[in-house]
Amino acid sequence: MPGIRSQACLLLLALGLSLPVGASERTLRVAVLSKSPPMSFVDAAGKLAGFNVRVAHALCDVMSVRCELTAMPLERVVDAVAAGEFDFAAVSLLDTAERRSRILFSKPYYRSSSIWFARPGVEPGAAGIRVAAVTGSAQSRYARAHGWNIVNVPHHAEFPALLTERKADAVLLPMASALTLRQEPSIQSLGLVTTVIQRPELSGEVCFGIDPQNPELRDQINKAFDRIKRDGRFDRLNSEYLPFRLQ
């Protein structure tokens, strides 16, 4: 009898120890970009910051889950989410057919366009020019599709150096990143001109990418987006990082 009692006590103890762990909120693995201000970057304190990072935290807060953010270059994002390494990617992904075939998309959370940043007189598609774009981006894909001479870089943050060092004649990048690049002091003297490229492949709705094996998470994220857009959190973050409304 004492043996049975002690076993029962041990069982209860094990349950008591395991329950808090089991009952605690689940953790989602979230992919973010590391050097893509103002959407996602590492701040002066060494912490991940930016609009997308804060939106990811807000979504996790609404879903009552803990998020574990991992920074990576854009090139790896779709592959990693498609492989199930991450539950979702808090990365502004243009909704393209190629991506949609591999991962799930959340509902669009804003609409973006692409900006051509170049020296004066350097026009999109001109022969012989070198166009920089982030590997894995819609802009890179567009440039490749049009047979442009591409300089691929892993992060948006590398564009100023490319331009000042004349390793690229132009850059093609998303609207929000262009805002930060435009403010970069090192390029102010270059007299760069900007052109908004109104091409369907380069503008449109932007979504988060979600593990293709987890449609329930997509529904949860969509509801969470509705929630933070209704309660004002989304707009506050928008005001914090960008001069105008993204949506």
Partner 1 sequence: MQRQSLIARLSRRAWPAGKAFALVGGAFGCTFLALLFWLAVDQHLVLDGSQRLLDHAVPATLERFRLARNVEQLRLEGEHVFSGRTPVARQQALFIVSLLASHPAVLADARAAGLAGEVERFLSRSMHEGMSEARHAEWAMLASRLTLLADDVSSEGVNLATADLHRMSATMLQSRSKLLLVLALVAVFVGGFVFLIRRHLIQPLQAIDQALSALGSGQAVTPFAPASMLEIRAVERAIGQLREVMQENETTREQLERLATTDGLTGMFNRRHFLAVAEEEIKRAQRYSRPICVGMADLDFFKHINDSHGHASGDLVLQSVAEIFARTLRHSDWGCRFGGEEFAFVFPETGLREAHRLAERLRQSAAASQIALADGSRVDITLSLGLADASSCPLEIALQRADAALYDAKQQGRNRVVTAPVGHATGETARQPFNGDAPPSVDTAST
Applying CB under 8 A, the residues found at the interface with partner 1 are: 110-113, 115, 175, 178-179, 182-183, 188, 194, 196, 198, 203-205, 226, 229-230, 235, 243-247
Nearest-approach distance from CB 223 to partner 1, in angstroms: 11
If one counts every other C-beta atom within 10 angstroms of the C-beta of residue 148, the result is 20
User: Does an H or E element contain 38, and which?
Assistant: none
Output the CA–CA distances (angstroms, integers) from residue 136 to 133, 161, 168, 190, in the order listed.
9, 20, 18, 27
Q: In angstroms, rounded to a whole number, what is the distance separating the alpha carbons of residues 8 and 216?
A: 38
User: Does an H or E element contain 181, and which?
Assistant: helix 175-182
Nearest-approach distance from CB 68 to partner 1, in angstroms: 30
Nearest-approach distance from CB 199 to partner 1, in angstroms: 11
Nearest-approach distance from CB 197 to partner 1, in angstroms: 9
- Rank residues 18 and 247 by Cβ distance to partner 1 and give the closer one: 247
Output the CA–CA distances (angstroms, integers) from residue 78 to 155, 170, 208, 218, 243, in the order listed.
15, 26, 10, 15, 29
- Rank residues 73 and 108 by Cβ distance to partner 1 and give the closer one: 108
- Rank residues 31 and 175 by Cβ distance to partner 1 and give the closer one: 175
